Amino acid sequence: MRHVFILNPAAGKGDEIAPLRSKLESECKRLGADYFIYITQAPGDATEFILRECAEGGMFYGEKCRFYACGGDGTISEVLDGAARIDGAEVGVIPIGTGNDFCRSCTPAELYFDIEAQINGTAMPIDAVKYNGKYSANMINIGFDCEVVKEAARIKRKPWVPGGLAYIFALVKTLIRKPGAAFTLSVDGGKPEHYSLLLCAVANGPYCGGGFDALPMAELSDGKVNIIKVKNVTRLKFLTVVKYYKDGTLPDRKTADTLCEYVSCRHAVFEFDKTQAVCVDGEIHELDRLEIDVEPGRFLFSAPRGAIMGSALDGAAELRAGV
């Protein structure tokens, strides 16, 4: 198998690439692994690189490959968008981004940086979320959450702000403006309904925002996405519940139904009242319409050897074990 490491120099604070490249080269040589390292040049380049080099005439044509997304959740999304279109291609992850939320479903975090564990990892089929013709691995955020991500991207560039705190600082700053989202939503072909909300999230995996367990019921291999629709509550009300939104206990609160609604589905269509910023795995897109389909088992995720699967990966682990 060819192990292809795709490094995003814009991930995190941008200072991880040189030491990671040196480590990859020394470890792959020590292990005798067939490897290749590629540094992305621009947004979308990871997808284009995979498709170009796996096509006839490309350096990986006809080879079994595992593509490692070395970056944040947006890099995973780009790598998946290419690998999901190549038969048998696997995706591994080395998380050097800001949020790294997809990886929270598989622990411990140290194993992602153990190159021997990565090389000896095994793949499991998990779902991919297709949105407007592209693929997402983890979560799509609309409204308040999306605006927080935009603000966090600006804050994380400040050298004195730890990456893990950028989202918290951004949340506080965004709360002053309290942006929301208005749209018509149709689920699984049902009757369209109009909403004016504080935020909405469409989840394949449960985590967003650098560790917010926003949709704890989400599973990566159940053939569905989970959607949360948070009502346009007051700032004070939001502050009283944000702790529960972060630690994954909001659905268990007796007052949850007065704050939000949950639904799971295989297909969803959003028609926005006006052009809307939409965050897909940490990357911002300006959209008028968002169409989502779940493709079960489309994503061959390679977990490092020895990794412990969280509840979001229970089904995938069973499929890998043949249960």
Q: At what angle do helices 163-177 and 144-155 cross, to 10 degrees?
A: 130
Q: What is the pLDDT of residues 100-152, one digit of tens each?
A: 999 998 889 999 999 999 999 999 999 999 999 999 999 999 999 899 888 88
Q: Is the predicted pLDDT of residue 316 greater than 70, yes or no?
A: no
- Integer Cα distance of 310 and 303 in angstroms: 12
State the pLDDT at residue 57.
96
Phi, psi of 68 (to 5 degrees): -95, 120
State the pLDDT at residue 323.
42
- Integer Cα distance of 156 and 141 in angstroms: 19
With beta carbons less than 8 A apart as the criterion, state whether 156 and 166 touch. Answer: yes
Query: What average pLDDT does range 51-77 have in this prediction?
Result: 96
- Name which of 60-64, 156-160, 306-310, 317-321 the model is least confident about: 317-321
Comparing C-alpha atoms, which of 150, 163, 48, 162 is closest to residue 101? 163
Query: What average pLDDT does range 176-201 have in this prediction?
Result: 95
Domains of the chain: 2-128+296-321 (3.40.50.10330), 139-294 (2.60.200.40)
Q: Is the predicted pLDDT of residue 90 greater than 80, yes or no?
A: yes
Comparing C-alpha atoms, which of 40, 43, 13, 134 is closest to residue 80? 134
- The alpha carbon of 104 is separated from its chain's Cα centroid by a whole number of angstroms, namely 10
State the pLDDT at residue 311.
67
Q: What is the pLDDT of residues 241-272, one digit of tens each?
A: 989 999 999 999 988 889 999 999 999 999 99
Query: What average pLDDT does range 44-72 have in this prediction?
Result: 97
| Residue with the larger pLDDT of the pair 317 and 302 | 302
Query: What average pLDDT does range 293-319 have in this prediction?
Result: 81
State the pLDDT at residue 163.
61
pTM: 0.90
Quote the percentage of the chain above a pLDDT of 90: 73
State the pLDDT at residue 315.
56
Comparing C-alpha atoms, which of 274, 145, 276, 134 is closest to residue 208? 145
Q: Is the predicted pLDDT of residue 164 greater than 90, yes or no?
A: no
State the pLDDT at residue 131.
97
Q: Is the predicted pLDDT of residue 320 greater than 70, yes or no?
A: no
Q: What is the pLDDT of residues 5-26, one digit of tens each?
A: 999 999 877 788 999 999 999 9
Query: What average pLDDT does range 48-68 have in this prediction?
Result: 97
Cα dist from 279 to 148, 155, 176, whole Å = 10, 17, 20
Residue 76 binned pLDDT confidence (cut-offs 50, 70, 90): very high
Mean model confidence pLDDT for the chain: 91
